[in-house]
Amino acid sequence: MTGPFDDMFGNTPFDLNHDGHIDGGEWAFINDALFADDSSSSTSEDDEIDDELEMAGLSRDDLEMMDQEERREALEDAGFDADDFEDEF
């Protein structure tokens, strides 16, 4: 029995066990290799900021909803320099 991806990827380097068929594990490998979103490097800085805010009891969503003065006060109360976050929100 052949699968939908056997014609396209069977008997290629993606056929990891060389059986001529693409199984679920091999398809997951193909999907990661060919269709993965490489934007993770740009979000790692955002993730670090979100982690710092979370540890201080703040969330990005809450800060975005505040006006500039409320946001500045909340960041300063949490021990952050509000100027460091000026371009974030």
Number of domains in the chain: 2
Q: 79 and 52, same structural domain?
A: yes
**Does residue 20 fall inside a structural domain?**
yes
Q: How far apart are CA 72 and CA 35, in angstroms?
A: 40
Q: How far apart are CA 28 and CA 22, in angstroms?
A: 10
Above 90 in pLDDT, residue 49? Answer: no
Residue-number span of the structural domain to which 68 is assigned = 40-85
Q: 58 and 29, same structural domain?
A: no
Q: 59 and 77, same structural domain?
A: yes
Residue range 14-44, pLDDT digits in tens: 888 888 888 888 888 888 888 877 655 556 7
Could you tell me the pLDDT band of residue 47, with boundaries at 50, 70 and 90? confident
pTM: 0.50
Q: 60 and 27, same structural domain?
A: no
**Does residue 50 fall inside a structural domain?**
yes
Higher pLDDT, 27 or 10: 27
**Does residue 55 fall inside a structural domain?**
yes
Q: How far apart are CA 40 and CA 61, in angstroms?
A: 20
